[in-house]
Copies of this chain bind each other. A is one copy, B any other.
Amino acid sequence: MIRKTFSLAATFICAGALALPALAQSDADRAIDYELANSRAYDTLEYLTDNIGPRLSGSKGAALAVTWATKQLRAMKLDDVRNEPVMVPHWVRGVERATLVSHNDQKIVLTALGGSVATPENGITADVVEVSSFEELDRLGRKVAGKIVYFNNPIDMSLVESGRAFDAYSKAVEFRGAGPSHAAQYGAVAALIRSVASASLRSPHTGSLRYDEKQPKIPGAALSVEDALLVHRLLAKGERVRMHLVLTPRTLPDAPSFNVVAEIRGSERPNEIVLIGGHLDSWDLATGAIDDGSGAAMCIETMRVLKELGIKPKRTIRAVLFMNEENGLRGGHAYFDAAAKREEIAKHVAVIETDAGAATPVGFTTTLEGSALANFTRAAAPLNRIAAPLTWESSRHTGADTSPLTDAGVTGFGLTPDPRHYFDFHHSPADTLDKVDPHQLAQNTAAIAGLAVLLANQ
């Protein structure tokens, strides 16, 4: 989709950013200071993760999270709190078990990729063939027929360590999405990837695959890094590696769910919207503390802070807790469709998404570029005392749930906590509350709250 620049956003960015009035700065400062001193974001995250637990779309946990978050927001006496319906995929994991029948029936640790079909009930037993690229797979062609294709896709740790973890992830994750169908076109019976992870203690990391409807659907799973290395070493020695694989996931009928939407209406321009959003669903392997319980908690907490401080932003601040970011993005699309029906798309002045964990905030990505960005970063100086001065990086992609909006030309911002350890835990059983530091969570919330108020008060 071609990006259009809406006049509203453009006006704001070009005309407004150079000299924000004192009042606007003051509200942002107040929100930041209050959050840093009085944060309850961690309590919110603790309940969501410890008491509700995993929240995969369609699950009881996801439904409980919607009910609970709605209740929390309603208790704040905001101007509006509503559930916007969305039908979501309902995928259930089942058994996942593998052994190397060629090597003393050693157990192999893996996890089904989200959306994967099941193996036959008694499993698949087949030779494993390793490839490092789609090109290599294409060269092998039908030689992989009847076999299990293993995509050897290590994450680039030098990128991770230099702070480009999301770039490293994007590269390595390509095979997770497209690998199974690519292998299926040559008759492979299953596809494996190496977990896209920057740390491992035999930890499998899940995530969605995307089937090409023109190809047969074959099961897909992610090996733990250790098991991927084992398979690689055995194959590199020239040994035949034969695996028995049992996966019994089921795709149930789509389930009804909701985005949770809460608003503080603008005092001067209530029809203009600054959106803050994170997602309420998580993968099923863990309680989703960093992905994206922390983002949801930041949004809930921002509304609490603004309300408790009595801040009346000029524009409407709307928090959206999206459903189904992980395995469908149905919530992001449903929100867009509902907003379009309300003729609201162009009324979104800016969208701020938080879905990258809660380590110390280092900056934001933004769809702003050039002088507009330069102007904006000067106006956003109040945020710089939260942690080290923030970086602002131009990017077409500032968040998945808000991508329908930014694709339509809305100005986007994406919070960037320090990404160096995010993929140690992401989509794995280890994404639990203990990975989040309460003060860092408050810093991130202060950044979201501060930026939202700055944008809304312009």
Contact = CB atoms under 8 A, between A and B. Distances in A.
Given A104-B64, A432-B230, A425 B50 contact: no
Nearest to A231: B50
Give the interface centre of A60, A229, A428, A429 by most chain B CB atoms within 10 Å: A429
A432 B109 CA distance: 12
Contact of A53 (B64, B104, B225, B233): B104
A286 interface: yes
A52 B104 contact: yes
Contact of A425 (B61, B201, B430): B201
Interface in A396-425: 424-425
Contacts of A107: 54
Nearest to A234: B50
A51 interface: yes
A229 B433 CA distance: 9
Contacts of A424: 201
Contacts of A425: 201
B233 A430 contact: no
Contact of A428 (B60, B106, B202): B202
Nearest to A65: B104
A58 to B, nearest CB: 15
Interface string A238-266: 01000000000000000000000000000
A200 interface: yes
A434 interface: yes
Contacts of A434: 225-226, 229
A289 to B, nearest CB: 10
A104 B201 contact: no
B201 A428 contact: yes
A46 interface: yes
B201 A61 contact: no
A199 interface: yes
Given A51-B103, A53-B106, A104-B61, A429 B201 contact: yes
A109 B106 CA distance: 21
B200 A430 contact: yes
A57 interface: no
Interface in A148-194: none
A201 B200 CA distance: 7
A287 interface: yes
A354 interface: no
Interface in A208-233: 225-226, 229-230, 233
A109 B425 CA distance: 15
A39 interface: no
A201 B61 CA distance: 22
A203 interface: yes
Contact of A287 (B106, B239, B428, B433): B106
Nearest to A289: B226
Given A50-B230, A202-B430, 15 more contacts: A46-B233, A50-B103, A51-B103, A52-B104, A53-B100, A53-B106, A54-B106, A60-B104, A61-B104, A64-B104, A201-B424, A201-B430, A202-B286, A229-B433, A230-B433
Q: 6 smallest A-B Cβ distances: which pairs? A: A201-B430, A202-B429, A53-B106, A201-B201, A202-B430, A226-B432
5 contacts: A53-B106, A61-B104, A200-B430, A201-B201, A233-B433
